[in-house]
Amino acid sequence: MAKKITLREIAALTGTSVSTVSKALNQSPEISENTRRRIIEVARVSHYRAGQQLDIYRDGHQQMIGFLVPDVSNPYFARLWQGVEDIARTHNYSVVACHTQEDPDMEIQQLNRIQQVDLAGLLTVPINEANYQNLRIPFMFLSRCSATCNTVSYVINNDIQGGYLAAKYLLEQGKRNIYFLSGPENISVATNRTHGIRNAYREKDIPFPKNRVLYDNLQFKDGYRAFERIMKICRPPFGLFCSSDIVAIGALSAARASGYRIPDDVSIVGYDNIPIDQYMDYPLTTIAQADYQIGSHGMKMLAEMISSEEPYRKVNQIMFEPELIVRKT
């Protein structure tokens, strides 16, 4: 018995979306005659039978959107997800989130699982962009993308500018020795923010040593441990730029536990502007990025891709500019 073909497979064969295939097979007037004929012909020769699988448009069921995210417990990614869900709801999509835990191997495993499910589309905070080269559903990168990425739709923050703003501020505070607590080395934000730091140093005609970038994860304990390492090799005053506010709060806790004066001995800049920052004993200076807007704009653009007759043709890219929020650290 021949294997039944799915709507997703017909979409891949015709270079369209699952949404377009379903509408064409249901004679929707939204689809052009040429596209409808192409889809119907592929369905015919592939022995597709209407009703062999759930037709989400006819039956009124929700389509599913996949969302790959490193850690939804992180306040930044939680806000990103909220933006995605708010817009998905208006388009009658349900969102299924999968964690990657900043692990490239887990990202591959999750993508393999996604290939087995009839998702309408995918939003992802990527770890390794190459893992998405052969993905045959509409997808978008959120929050991260390398500086050379020009073939994939994305909604991101200008992380080069974010790194520049943080380093420029710390240098202006008299902290010539700046350490960057970067997060994992293999993610694009690490490269982009380091680039921004170098730009700020270059303006001052000062070299930025490679050993000032410390790669680790993005948890509270990672910031705490990183500070303990730094205070053994560098005397104050110095500056810390942390790739997330969670890491910055960990570093700030270690600094205070070790008797350092904030900001005289150590100035600290975080990233994300999570709500708790302004309510701490030492409110955190940070780089704010458009977390909710990145999620909501990404979902809007993905919905447009899904409804397009040829979702892989057009590349849409949005970059939000970051903002330095100066507080007490």
Has residue 93 got a pLDDT over 50? Answer: yes
Distant-in-sequence, close-in-space partners of 50: CB < 8 Å, separation ≥ 6 = 25
DSSP letter for each residue of 171-226: HHTT--SEEEE---TTSHHHHHHHHHHHHHHHHTT----GGGEE---SSHHHHHHH
More confident residue, 311 or 308: 308
What does pTM read for this prediction? Answer: 0.80
Rounded Cα distance, 268 and 241, in Å: 6
Q: Give the DSSP letter of residue 30.
A: T
Residue 119 has a pLDDT of: 85
Query: pLDDT (tens digit, 9 = 90+) per residue, 196-213?
Result: 999 999 999 999 999 999
**Angle at which helices 33-45 and 18-25 pack, to 10 degrees?**
90
DSSP letter for each residue of 299-311: HHHHHHHHHSSST
286 bridge partner residues? 270, 325
Mean pLDDT of 259-277: 95
- Check whether the bond before 237 is cis (ω within 30° of 0): yes
Q: Give the DSSP letter of residue 143.
A: E
Residue 8 has a pLDDT of: 73
**Phi, psi (5° rounding) for residue 99?**
-90, 145
Residue 101 has a pLDDT of: 86
Query: pLDDT (tens digit, 9 = 90+) per residue, 96-127?
Result: 888 898 888 999 988 988 777 778 899 999 99
Residue 2 has a pLDDT of: 46
Residue 57 has a pLDDT of: 36
Residue 142 has a pLDDT of: 97
User: Could you give the domains of the chain?
Assistant: 7-57 (1.10.260), 61-157+292-321 (3.40.50.2300), 159-288 (3.40.50.2300)
Residue 135 has a pLDDT of: 85
Residue 3 has a pLDDT of: 53
Least confident segment among 41-50, 116-125, 135-144, 270-279: 41-50
With beta carbons less than 8 A apart as the criterion, state whether 283 and 254 touch: no
CA 225 to chain centre: 25
Residue 159 has a pLDDT of: 96
More confident residue, 255 or 16: 255
Q: How confident is the model at residue 50 (pLDDT cuts 50, 70, 90)?
A: low
Mean pLDDT of 43-47: 70
Mean pLDDT of 286-307: 95
Q: Give the DSSP letter of residue 131.
A: G
Rounded Cα distance, 142 and 125, in Å: 5
Q: Record the tokens describing residue 228, joined without a space.
A: 């303990």
**Phi, psi (5° rounding) for residue 195?**
-55, -45
Residue 18 has a pLDDT of: 73
pLDDT, averaged across the chain: 87
Closest by CA position to 288, among listed 116, 203, 161, 200: 161
Residue 62 has a pLDDT of: 63
Q: Which residues of 187-219 are buried (b: 16+ CB within 10 A; e: fewer)?
A: bbbbbbbbebbbbbbeeeeeebeeebbbbbbbb
Count of Cβ atoms closer than 10 Å to residue 95 Cβ = 17
**Angle at which helices 220-233 and 245-257 pack, to 10 degrees?**
50
Mean pLDDT of 10-33: 75
More confident residue, 50 or 314: 314
Residue 51 has a pLDDT of: 44
